[in-house]
Structure 1
Amino acid sequence: MIPDTLLATRQSRGQVWRIVESQEQAATRRITRSAAEQSRLEELLDAHKPAYLPGSEQLHWLLRTPFRYPPLRHGSRFGTRVEPGILYASRERETAMTESAVYLWLFRAGPLDTGPLARIADARTAIHFGLRHRAICDLTREPGSGHRKRLSDPADYSFSQALGARLRETGAGGIWFHSARAPHGVNAAILSPAAIPPGMEPRQEHWQLHLDARACWWGRAGGESFEIPFASVAGRDGRIPHPCL
């Protein structure tokens, strides 16, 4: 049962970060011999993907892509398996990096023997963009903050998914909520493409990451770096709690 007090929304805006894989062209370019072949390959790949959510067509492709795909089999924090995709981001860059590292650790903890992937060295892009909407639910404030434990449960999405469904019904464009992985971090769940201003061009930063069983290190040109200890996101049993496990 979702209390009606949690459905309150207000006009809100902010700047957020999201970590994405480096441009997929780097991967597909290896099997093409020219720009024309590359363009044709991308057209063929795009034709076999789900249709874009109405209203997202004019967004930068990095911003519209999350609305294109349904959640994974366990859903997402505020979305069930049968609802349109949600664009998740973080108010702080370090929070976005922490969330990204968690999913890499979960990948390592999967049922398959990852072999050399037990140590991951890869590139990522951090994108920074704005959001603005007339109806955003801020769960970091009362009365939402009073339900923080259930809303940010790292292993159970049932309460937050039920709230997400109710908020969609009211026409909410997004949600501010506490991160389950970074204690002082705030995340954003963007429910509607309308919450991203038209013409928004995300700023991009290119990062390298190195992840093993102990920590995830992020670094980029200029000497800027950030490290996330595995122990900071793991439970008492030494595992990362998550609905998929």
Structure 2
Amino acid sequence: MSLWQQCQGEHQIKPLQGMLLRLVESQEQIATLGYVDTLEEQALLETLLDDTKPNYPAHCQNLHYLLKTPFRYPPLKWGSRFGQVHEPGIFYGGGTLNVTLAEAAYYRLLFWDSMSGTAPKAQIQTAHTMFSVPYQTERGIQLQQPPFDTVAAIITDRSHYQATQQLGKAMRSSGIEAFEYPSARDPNSGICIGLFSALALASKQPADLSAWWCEVSQQGVSFKAANQSQIYHFARSLFTEQDQLPQPATA
């Protein structure tokens, strides 16, 4: 019996609204500026690169690029917690600053571990953008609430996504547009948000845009807002099991 059937998912559908945060890497312009000499060449190069990418879904056309980009691509090669590799992309975000950074820290460590051989530097620094956007739908699900809380250990499994990907498939088939779920990475068990459809976005523009810096090393990940002195640090040990960083979406 699937999680959707076990928890009688069709009976748990409800209106859902809130505000989510999302952190994205500010890499595209930085990466291409090194190959051109003028801003005109930069604009041309960005256009050429954009033409090689998948088309945006029709319901995303009027959205700011930060809001429509997550729907443009399918999940990564291993899928995502609620999405299989052949399914459309899901817009993921965090309900609080801490959970958003914790989730991002885990994936920065995955990036660190993906480098073959010895890392080129003791630390790698990257630039990011944080933004917020409201979500609202009549067809939502709260996976942190009963009866789904009885299967929280499966929903937050750190490396096995098979059951949650099937749950995601069932939610999508049932017309769910947005869902909330407990984070598998945040030590405080914060709430994350997933949007299957851009129709669940309550705004066409992101808000509260801010610049952030990230530093990742073998020991952990640190984040700092460009206009603030506070540093948010996530030790590698927060995410490891038996001294190993769990790999996502293994069978």
- TM-score between both structures, scaled by the size of structure 2: 0.91
Aligned to 1:199: 204
Report the secondary structure of 2:159's partner residue: coil
How many Å separate the matches in 2 of 1:23 and 1:60?
17
**What is the Cα deviation at residue 118 of structure 1?**
4.8
Q: Is the 8 A contact 2:20 2:132 kept in 1?
A: yes
1:209 matched to which residue of 2? 214
CA displacement at 1:36 relative to structure 2:
2.1
Tell me how far apart the structure 2 counterparts of residues 187 and 117 of structure 1 sit (CA, whole Å): 32
**Aligned counterpart in structure 1 of residue 148 of structure 2, from 144, 159, 162:** 144
Is the 1:108–1:114 contact (alpha carbons within 8 Å) kept by the matching residues of 2? no
8 Å contact kept, 2:183–2:191 = yes
The match for 1:6 among 6, 9, 18 is 9
- Cα distance, 1:200–1:73 mapped onto 2, change above 3 Å: same
Counterpart position of 2:86: 82
Aligned to 2:192: 187
How far residue 124 of structure 1 moved from its aligned partner, in angstroms, is 1.4
Whole-angstrom distance in 2 between the partners of 1:127 and 1:204: 4
Asked if residue 226 in structure 1 is aligned to residue 226 in structure 2, the reply is no
2:196 aligned partner, one-letter code:
L
What amino acid does structure 2 have at the position aligned with 1:172? I
Relative distance call for 1:185 and 1:84 in structure 2 (3 A) is same
Segments of 4+ moved more than 4 angstroms? none
- The alignment yields a C-alpha RMSD, in angstroms, of 1.7
CA shift for structure 1 position 111: 6.3
**C-alpha distance in 2 between matches for 1:140 and 1:244:** 20
Q: Classify 1:109/1:142 alpha carbon distance in 2 versus 1 (closer, same or farther; 3 Å).
A: same
Is 30-39 or 92-101 further displaced after alignment?
Answer: 30-39
SS at match of 2:8: helix
Decide whether the 8 Å contact of 2:109 with 2:220 is kept in 1. Answer: no
Question: How far apart are the structure 2 equivalents of 1:73 and 1:117?
Answer: 26
Aligned to 1:60: 64
1:233, CA displacement in angstroms? Answer: 1.4
Q: Give 1:95 deviation, angstroms.
A: 1.0
Deviates more, 1:31-40 or 1:153-162: 31-40
Instruction: State how far apart, in whole Å, the 1-side matches of 2:207 and 2:63 are.
Output: 10
1:38-79 deviations in Å (ceiling 9; x for gaps): 221111111100111220111110111111111122111111
Alignment of 1:24-39 (within 5 A): 24-39=28-43
- Tell whether 2:67 aligns with 1:70: no
Aligned to 2:128: 124
Question: How far did residue 19 of structure 1 move?
Answer: 1.0
Letter in 1 for 2:231: S
Q: Percent identity between the aligned chains?
A: 30
Q: Which amino acid in 2 is paired with 1:209?
A: C
Q: How many residues align?
A: 244
Range with greater deviation from structure 2 (25-34 or 146-155): 25-34
Structure 2: runs of 5 or more not aligned: none
Query: Residue type matched to 2:19 in 1?
Result: Q
SS across alignment from 1:100? helix
Q: 1:244 to 1:151 in 2, by over 3 A?
A: closer
Q: Which amino acid aligns with 1:226?
A: Y
Aligned AA (2:156): S
